[in-house]
Every structure is written in C-alpha cells, then in structure tokens.
Chain A
C-alpha cells in the first residue's frame, strides 16, 4: 500500500513536470541542438567521431517573437523546412517582407513577397537555404536563437549581423 501510493505520487509529479516543461518550451524558451555545418562559424558541429557524445552546439531559442512575428534582419531563427515539416532548420534571416534582395551568384533582384522572408546559412558554401528553396513563409518560423549554452567555451549571446552589400539602402 505504501509503495503504491509512493508510485502514484511519483507518476503524478513526473506528469505534472512534463506538462509544465512542454508548455514552457512551446510558449517561452526552448533548447535545441544544432547539427551540420551550414551556420559555421556561429555554430560549430563537432566531429562525429565520438559516438554517444553531444554532437553540435546546444542553443537557447525564445518564442516571444512569435506573438507578433516581428523580426529584424540578421536574427538567427529556427524554422520548419518548407519541403519537410518534420525537419527544423536554423539559419540567419537576411531580408524581411517587402525588401529587395540581390540573389547571390546572379545579378537578379528579387522582392520578398508579403509574409515571407529570406534565410541563408552563414557558411554559404554548404548550406541549404533560400537560394535553393526561395523565400519561406514567416508562419514556418518557430523561434529566435539568442544564446549558445553548450559547449562551455563558447557560451554567449548571438549577435545580429548581415552580410554586406546584399540589401540596397532604402
């Protein structure tokens, strides 16, 4: 009887904390690990030669920006991949709706349609981004990355930066 009530208490506690954790991660802040080298050097994927170890950086993403979908150029965002809803990408936001952008590797100018944005990886050599799939709807954005929290030697905030010469001054 005693062990049964203990088990019941334990289950209740676990479920409650899981529910609270999920809510916080859905609405306020969440953790995410970054794999791949598309955002090098902002995030670094460690070599995969240590199986079992944490691969890639652990980052903190806030979700308050989703209340009004207000972003700035240079923010690092996480979003659902437009061609696979189960995959989450992390890239840098380059241009917002209504802005003109010069497509790299061509001299073409493109106006970002209403409700969309242009995202690119910092490491343009190996990044699957808007240069490949075009502007993405803002509705796919799931949060803004604010800090790196692991590994310890690179803990710190992430600053906004924009590649120069891409967006003409208005």
Chain B
C-alpha cells in the first residue's frame, strides 16, 4: 500500500534524529529503521512477516551524512514499495553509503558549514551584536540544511533504484572547490581580525609578522605544530 502524506512527513521529520542511536557496530542502522518505520508500516500493512524482515534489513549497518540520509530513506522505502528482492536491497544499501558520506563531508561539513560560521564571525568582528549574529547564522545555515533534506527525500522516493545516476549529476566537486577557496579567504580574515583584538597588540609591531609566519608553518606542517600551537595558548594564559 502506498504511504500517505502524513507518513512521508513523519519519516522525513524522523531523519533529523537518524544519528540518535549511532554506535560502532551498525553506525546509523538503528536510526534508519526509526526513520523508515512509518513508511514500512504502511508499505507492508497486513503482512507482519514482511514488516519484520524489512525492519531488520533497515536496522543493519549503514552510514551516510545526516543531511543526505533522507535520500537513502526515500530510496529504500521506494525499493520496498516496488518489492525489490533481498539481494538488490542489500547491494543498493551498500552502494549508496560512500557517495552520501563523501558528498556530505565535502560540500556540507567542509563547505557550507564553515562558510556560514566564518561569515558570522566576520559580521561579529565588524560590530554586529552577538545574539543577532548567532540568530542570523542559525537562520541562514538551516535554510540550506532543511532545503537539502527536502530535496534529498523527494529525490530518493522519486528515483528509487536510479538515485545514484541523479547524484552523479550533482556538481559536487565544483561546489566544494568554490567553498574551499572562499573559506580559506574568510578564515584568514577572521584570524587576522581576532589577532588584532588581542590586547597589547598595538605595542608590539612584531606580532603581525610572527603570526603570519606561524600561520604558514601551521599550513605546511599541520600535524607537527598542533601540539606546539596549543602549548602557546597555555603559556599565553600565564603571561
């Protein structure tokens, strides 16, 4: 039986909690079962054995970026509705994980999120109030976040088994490269403005060049200087 609008809405809302039972064995498998449950109940209405099997399948190991999990929830529900066989479902789940994880990390975690954070930081350092800045960050960031979840859920249900081809059409690399470039510029600007705010800076003109040198060293030898950089902050507390 095809799920009604209310069931789709319930499943979509539940994807916000898809990582709620994250664990080292099934990753977000439990969350996938939780999100799929309202749809599976309807798809397998009157067939408790099929419902049991589909819930057990849904709860097995799975991983995805949380914002893109609605794609998986929509597509897996569609496959269950289309009565795809067990092997197809298993293969499909396996094939979907890597692109959903990689796309989310590149575009959302390394792109959209730092972009919104850094623009907010810049606004604060230019004099916008902290509460207003934080509220603006939440509003703008979540406009993108919710839009991605809505798009993903619709795409997953509409394309089902063909969702992989639709994902290939998304210009992930181009978008993530643009974000990387802009975020590097923003990060440099925010760091320079924060350093300029440190009291006593106006008395020491050598702080600027030293900071630039430290930034360069940090960029080119990242892991090697992390401990030293943290140690410098500890020492700064005592001087």
A and B from one assembly? no
Seen from chain A, the residues whose Cβ lies within 8 Å of a Cβ on chain B are none
Seen from chain B, the residues whose Cβ lies within 8 Å of a Cβ on chain A are none
